[in-house]
Amino acid sequence: MENLLREKIEKPMVQLSYKYAMDLVQARLGLINADLTEKYHRQVIRNMSSRIKTADSIIKKLKKKEREVTFETAVETLNDIAGIRVICYFCDDIYQVAEAVRRQKDFTILKEKDYVKNPKRSGYQSIHLIVGVPVTYNDATKEVRVEIQIRSFAMDYWAELDTQMCYKKDAGQILNVERETKDYSDVIAKVDNKMLELRKRIEKM
């Protein structure tokens, strides 16, 4: 089962379809950044990164979710085989970027999660948008899903350290450190908001 999934997901047509959709979304985010930068006279997006989930990571996620480990289940049920991470300077910028993505008329918003208004138990904060992107080849068009994670520089600092220390190791539960990581996430959110207040005061001057 696992080998068949690996073989199918690694096929160039499959990988390139995800890459095509991901590159299209990333190029659009570049335009969104240029537009917002012109409007606000400052850089809004700090950086972006993208990745296609590896076969190992797909298998791990399907097992964690207690789903069948098949190529078909992966493609039908996982929303983040293609993923883009957008890091903004300030915590209000992430809503501007999310709103701009919603306005792109060739993208379909399939799902939204606001882990900033409702952080995860671990303290994880980010906005997730699952967008459906039309990919045409010959005379057929299919919708490919891309996950966009949008967060501030400060939220990303927390998430990166959490991924290294806890998330990927499931250490949150094992070591019962979840309360501590949540506390630090709250501290970081306070600083993020203070920096935003400061920026707004400076803008008014």
Binding site for ligand 0O2 (CB under 6 A): 57, 61, 79-80, 83, 111, 113, 120, 122, 124, 128, 130, 159, 162-163, 167
Output 107 or 124, the one with its CB closest to ligand 0O2: 124
Minimal distance, residue 162 CB to ligand 0O2, in Å? 4
Using DSSP's 3-state secondary structure scheme, residue 72 falls into: helix
How many residues comprise the chain? 205
Question: Which two three-digit tokens encode residue 102?
Answer: 């919603």
- Measured CA to CA, the distance from residue 73 to residue 14 in angstroms comes to 14
Note whether 154 and 128 are within 8 A (CB): no
Minimal distance, residue 4 CB to ligand 0O2, in Å? 21
Minimal distance, residue 60 CB to ligand 0O2, in Å? 8
Minimal distance, residue 104 CB to ligand 0O2, in Å? 19
- Measured CA to CA, the distance from residue 164 to residue 157 in angstroms comes to 11
Using DSSP's 3-state secondary structure scheme, residue 182 falls into: helix
Q: How far is CA 116 from CA 126, 127, 133, 138, 172, in A?
A: 5, 6, 25, 41, 19
Output 112 or 199, the one with its CB closest to ligand 0O2: 112
Question: Which two three-digit tokens encode residue 28?
Answer: 């659009």
Question: What's the farthest any 2 CA atoms get from each other in the chain?
Answer: 63
Residue 189 one-letter amino acid: A
Minimal distance, residue 53 CB to ligand 0O2, in Å? 6
